[in-house]
Every structure is written in C-alpha cells, then in structure tokens.
C-alpha cells in the first residue's frame, strides 16, 4: 500500500445489485453524502437498476448475465485496485445498511489501521427476523472457530477491506457463500479482522437467500476450502 497519511487515504463503496430499481437510487444518493465514489455492479438485472444507479451518481459496471453476489464483489474489488483506492467498503443495495454508519468504518480504519472490518448487528437484534438471528449466531460461531478469530457477525455484508488484502479476498464461490469464504481466506493469511457496531434495517425487502440451497453451497465451500487450505498450511 502507498505511504499516504491516514487522512489522505481514499476509498470507494462497491454495491452488488440485482433488480433493485426501487431502492438503488436513494441508496446511492445517501452513500454519496459520505464518500466520493460509489460503484454499483449490476449483476444481470432485468429492470432499471443500472439506469437508476447512474442517474443517482454511481459508476455502474454491468454483468450481462447474473453471476451471483460473489462474482459481483470480485468485479468491484478488481475495479477498486485498478483505480488506486486505498480501501473499499462493501454494502448491500436494498437499503438494509444505513449509509450513516459509513463514517464509523472509515474512522475505525484510519484510527487503527486494521485491514478488515466487519459490521456487527448483533447488539441490535430487535428488528432482525428470527431465522436470521439463529443463522447468524450459528454461522458466526462456526466460522470464528474455523478462523481462530472471533467475528460476532460473519454474515454481515457491510465491510471495509484495505486494498492490499484484496488479492486474498477474491473468493471462488459466486453466490452468498462468498462472503464467508472471504473471511476464511483473510484469516488463513494471518490478517487481522475486527468489528464495527452498526444498525440493521429490515423493512419490506425480500431476502434472496434460499436456506437449503445456500446451506448446501456453504458446506460445499467449506469442503473446498479445507481441501485447499489444510490446517498446517494456514498462518497463525
């Protein structure tokens, strides 16, 4: 990473989006109050997601066909590295993440230099659907044990990555298992992960998570990860 002062470091937000024309314009406008560039990866949307994001001021990268959230994140990570950003923040397109929390991540990063920061919603569970509470608690326990680092909310997609760790976070998984895989890859390289308390907003958005399919994909990802990264090869 370049030898810039902490205050001079620049970042962008990357936002994977699929058929989010209802929310994406307002989401982008709110994000741009706190950071100078928002990059929306339109992952094969069939509606006006790309047009609404562009009208709101985002840079839009388009996948011709839907490839999944993991692939969209990888496209955004590549853009951030190629354009010289010092850090990248990932957020969802449906309004579930409050852009007012962006300064918390940036301040924590500039103050501590910790290379990976993950949002923590677990202190604010009142509005979280019960199935997500159970899933998040189990997955966070399971992955923390595997990583040998405690991350209280491993399923949160609101994150900050320092740009020099991006080569380690481009997951093979194309869909929702990718966000778990990125943390495993980071931990396997001995990179520190910490958390930032944040709000969670649950309104009328419809989750695209399929419990059975995504559970299968998660455990398939874990099998691949353990096969390719046996315990003796991981840094501690």
Taking only the tens place, the pLDDT of each residue in 60-74 is 999 999 999 999 999
Predicted TM-score (pTM) of this structure: 0.86
Read out DSSP for the chain?
Answer: -----GGG--EEEEEEESS-TTTHHHHHHHHTTT-S-EEEEEES-SSSHHHHHHHHT-EEEEESS---HHHHHHHHHHHHHHTT-SEEEE--SSS-S-GGGHHHHHHHHHHH--SEEEEE-TT--TTS-HHHHHHHHHHHHHHHHHHTS--TTTT---EEEEGGGHHHH--S--STHHHHHHHHHHHHTT--EEEEE-----SSPPP---HHHHHHHHHHHHHHHHHHS-GGGS--
Q: What pLDDT does 177 receive?
A: 81
Return the CATH fold of 9-229. Spore Coat Polysaccharide Biosynthesis Protein SpsA; Chain A (3.90.550)
Taking only the tens place, the pLDDT of each residue in 87-137 is 999 999 999 899 999 999 999 999 999 999 999 987 665 666 667 677 778
Q: Which residue ranges make up each domain of the chain?
A: 9-229
Q: What pLDDT does 216 receive?
A: 77
């Amino acid at each position: 990473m370049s030898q810039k002062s902490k205050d001079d470091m620049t970042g962008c937000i990357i936002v994977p989006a699929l058929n989010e024309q209802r929310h994406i314009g307002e989401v982008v406008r709110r994000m741009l109050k706190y950071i100078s560039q928002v990059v929306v990866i339109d992952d094969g949307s069939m509606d006006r997601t790309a047009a609404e994001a562009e009208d709101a001021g985002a840079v839009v990268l388009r996948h011709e066909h839907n490839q999944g959230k993991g692939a969209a994140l990888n496209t955004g990570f590549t853009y951030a590295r190629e354009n010289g950003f010092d850090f990248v923040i990932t957020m969802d397109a449906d309004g579930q993440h409050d852009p007012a929390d962006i300064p918390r991540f940036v301040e924590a990063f500039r103050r501590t230099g910790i290379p990976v920061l993950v949002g923590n919603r677990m202190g604010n569970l009142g509005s979280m659907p019960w199935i997500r509470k159970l899933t998040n608690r189990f997955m966070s326990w399971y992955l923390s044990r595997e990583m040998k680092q405690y991350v209280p909310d491993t399923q949160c997609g609101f994150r900050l990555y320092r740009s020099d760790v991006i080569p380690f976070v481009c997951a093979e998984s194309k869909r929702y298992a990718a966000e778990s895989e990125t943390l495993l890859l980071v931990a396997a390289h001995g990179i520190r992960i910490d958390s930032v308390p944040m709000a969670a907003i649950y309104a009328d958005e419809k989750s695209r998570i399929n419990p059975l399919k995504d559970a299968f994909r998660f455990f398939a990802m874990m099998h691949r990860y353990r096969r390719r990264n046996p315990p003796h090869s991981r840094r501690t």
